[in-house]
Amino acid sequence: MTHTHTHAPRRALLAAAFALALASGGAGAASAAEAAPAPPSPYAQSPYAQSPYAQSPYAQSPYVLRLDGAGECTFPMKKQIADRPWALQRLLLDELWAQTKGKDKNGAGVRVAVIDTGVDRANPQLSAALDTGAGKDFVDPKGGDGTTDTIGHGTKVAGLIAARPQEGTGFVGLAPDATIIPIRQNDGQGKGNALSLAQAIDHAVAKGAQVINISQDTDAQLSADSELGKAVQKAVAANIVVVASAGNDGTSGEKRKTYPAAFPGVLAVGASDRNNERAVFSQPGDFIGVAAPGVDMVSTVPGFGQCIDNGTSFSAPYVAGVAALLRAKHADWSAQQIVWQIQNTAERAVNGRDDYVGWGVVDPVRALSHDQQAPKAPVPDPGPPPATAPEAAALRLTETAQEREERFGTYALGIGAVLIAVIAGTATVVRDSRNRRRRLQ
């Protein structure tokens, strides 16, 4: 699938940036993950620019899908990250899991297909989560069950959805009882393309996926009639919640569509930071459905342990985990209703949606607790009521009874005052007249 803006100067910059990351910070990032839970985010440049894919010779090929993660982790890790990650600290997990952790009323785990670089089966937090019988490898010519992950990207994605609790770490997936269908379709070296992604989606549908997570993208303008477009529509028509990352080329702020996220029926997920604002690298556009944490994200790596990474690759599975919980709790809801519920309960920064975080930042607890009614399509908030217009004073051509009484009272007071003055004046005249008469006598 093509990457339409892979011009030579930009490729050179990306390769140089990745070389610098290897020279100055690649190993450091891993050791920091072992020693401390929150190393600084690589905001100076796009996570894609730091990924192994950026230096791949396949990056110039048409119709190549790029992974939406920074790819800075090494594995296996010697130590686990003990602390609860920030993206989980903000959740009341007991309330989130009050009714389900990803199993339906029959005790079956919701089936989530992770179409990625494979999902490692050796990490103990994931070994019990995988349905390897349903997995498939589209990269290795010899085939396989999708549990080979030489990059670690798919293992991190799967961990955010369904990693089981483990002693020694505060990290756990949002739906720790869900079942992962591991599908290896991209090797991080550019071999993942539109055709193989379409085939992987068809495989997920055939294996009974209820949620599909796709943490890769291209900005090639693909039509609904393309092979990938048709595969996505088949999945949507099969009542599957399809979640896809928006991409990491948003540093410039330029709005453009990426695929498969922009296909109709797909829940496109951007990345948010700790302040619930768009992460600087997250791709904006009119196709964004919601945003979810994508900065300093802790998740599982092949072999053992966890590491910290950045990208919309890790925002999408956060949402896919919420979708899995909703599918387990509300088996009667359609895939469209699941998407509406996630959008309706997201934390909004504006009254409606925008091109940066969509309908808002996903709120898993609210999605699972404000669910008494079947959801409807999201609409903008009504906002504060408009101010009441001032009313003009009534124009009266006649006086009121009160005004008449006040007028009569004024007259009475005036007349009384005049009478008093007259009487007083008359009395004074009479007195003076009598006094003069007495003096004359």
Tokens of 57: 């010779």
**Active site residue: 309, 313, 330, 363, which one?**
313
Determine the Cα–Cα distance for residues 119 and 157; give it in Å rounded to an integer.
8
Packed helices 153-162 and 315-329: angle between N→C axes, nearest 10 degrees: 40
Asked if residues 160 and 311 have their Cβ atoms less than 8 Å apart, the reply is no
Rounded to whole angstroms, the Cα distance separating 428 from 187 reads 123
Structure tokens at 58: 């396949």
Query: Closest by alpha carbon to 75, among 108, 44, 119?
Result: 119
| Element counts in the chain: helices (H) and strands (E) | 12, 11
Structure tokens at 69: 């993660």
Residue with tokens 């549990």: 147
Q: Do residues 301 and 156 touch, judged by C-beta distance below 8 A?
A: yes
Instruction: Give the span between the Cα atoms of 291 and 363, in whole angstroms.
Output: 10
Q: In 47-85, which positions are buried (b, 16+ CB within 10 angstroms) versus exposed (e)?
A: bbbbbbbbbbeebeeebbbbbbbbbbbbbebeebbeebb
Residue 189 to residue 145: CA distance in whole angstroms: 20
**Pairing outcome for strands 297-300 and 306-309:** antiparallel
The token pair at 211 is 């949620």
153 has catalytic annotation: yes
Which residue in 68, 116, 145, 273 is the catalytic one?
116
Q: Which of 235, 270, 274 is nearest to 256 (CA)?
A: 270
Degrees (nearest 5) of the Cα angle 242, 247, 250?
Answer: 140
Among candidate residues 154, 227, 163, 164, the one with its CA nearest the CA of residue 184: 154
Residue 46 is a catalytic residue: no
Which residue is it, tokens 């785990």? 109
Query: Could you give the dihedral angle defined by the CA atoms of residues 238, 140, 55 and 280, in that order, rounded to the nearest 10 degrees?
Result: 30
Residue 321 tokens read as 């985990």
Catalytic residue numbers, as ranges:
116, 153, 313
